[in-house]
Amino acid sequence: MASFINEAFFQRQGELILWLLTLGSMAMLLVGADRAVHAAVKLAKALGISTVIIGATVVSLGTTAPEACVSVMAAWRGNPGLALGNSVGSVICDTALIFGLCCCLTRLPLDRFVLRRHGWLQLGAGALLTAVVFVGAWVGGVDGAVIPRWVGYGFLGLLVGYLYISFRWARQHPEMIPSEARQSANKISAGTVAAMLGVLGLGLALVLAGSDALIGSVKELCIRNNVPDHIVAVTLVAFGTSLPELATALTAII
């Protein structure tokens, strides 16, 4: 996969500029994901979709877009350490940093309906990923361990199944009021839809550009400082790509 920004551009920059590019690309990821999520949420509400399913699908997928984009682009360009490190580090940031910080700032109410359904799915997904990694290390050894492509296809299939189940469960949630949903859907105009789609496209474009710049700057910094890319990915990059989730969580409790 070709980079939007030539690698020679990053090689010509000083280390201070590279750090500024890294921080700037993280800001692009934050702004892009935020705009995309806001547009998608408004569009979903206008179409009469319940807030429960919006949170479980639109918001969760939208705020995960930076992590997914960075990891996919890194893997496609031959940087598996950056891709896997960002994926694992993002889970740690989401659970330890974001959830822990929100619990420290306020008492979080528990929705038993959501917790019993989505909570078990999240726990199962984490356990499955852990099992895949340990089995891969056991079969291939520490140095020769790999995660085959069919595992990726399997996880994508599970994602499709999760989205389908989320839609089914949303119909059972007491918050979903069919009459209000139909009234909201009838009020939407073609111009409003076009505007929302435009903002959504702009947000996704910022995510793509920010991901490209982040990969290039971090890769060059790792080379110059002789630091493994997976170490930077599991810490700095994971924190940067988790900023949209952090912003969304803090906004919700303030």
Which of 178-182, 183-187, 247-251 has the weakest average pLDDT?
178-182
* Residue 41 to residue 55: CA distance in whole angstroms: 9
Rounded mean pLDDT, 124-141: 81
Mean pLDDT of all residues in 50-79: 80
Q: Does position 175 have pLDDT exceeding 60, yes or no?
A: no
Other C-beta atoms closer than 10 Å to the C-beta of 39 total 22
Lowest-confidence region among 16-20, 44-48, 179-183? 179-183
Q: What pLDDT score was predicted for residue 21?
A: 93
Question: What DSSP character marks residue 108?
Answer: P
- The half-sphere exposure of 237 on its side-chain side, counting CA atoms within 13 A, is 35
How far, in Å, CA of 204 to CA of 11, rounded? 27
Q: What is the pLDDT of residues 7-38, one digit of tens each?
A: 788 889 899 999 999 999 999 988 988 888 88
Instruction: Using alpha carbons, list the distances in angstroms from residue 224 to 14, 37, 39, 179, 208.
Output: 10, 36, 39, 60, 25
- For residue 180, pLDDT over 70 is answered with no
pLDDT at 174 over 70: no
Point out the least confidently predicted range of 63-67, 84-88, 167-171, 191-195. Answer: 167-171
Tokens for 69, please give them: 């984009």
Report the helix count and the strand count for the chain, using DSSP H and E. 14, 0
Tokens representing 182 are: 């139909």
Closest Cα partner for 207 from 66, 97, 1? 66
**Cβ–Cβ under 8 Å, residues 90 and 241:** yes
pTM, 2 dp: 0.76
Q: 178 pLDDT band (50/70/90 cuts)?
A: very low
Instruction: Tell me what percent of the residues of the chain surpass a pLDDT of 90.
Output: 7
- pLDDT over 50 (residue 121): yes
Rounded mean pLDDT of 162-174? 71
Give the angle 54-254-94 at the CA atoms, nearest 5°: 60
Within a 10 A sphere around the Cβ of 197, how many other Cβ atoms? Answer: 13
pLDDT-based confidence at residue 56 (cuts at 50, 70, 90): low
Distance (Å, whole) CA 77 – CA 1: 6
Q: Which residue blocks in 2-48 are alpha helix, DSSP H?
A: 7-11, 15-46
Instruction: Note the pLDDT tens digit of each residue in 190-211.
Output: 677 788 888 888 988 998 888 8
- Write down the mean pLDDT value for the chain: 81
pLDDT at 24: 93
pLDDT attached to residue 177: 46
Q: What is the pLDDT of residue 80?
A: 83
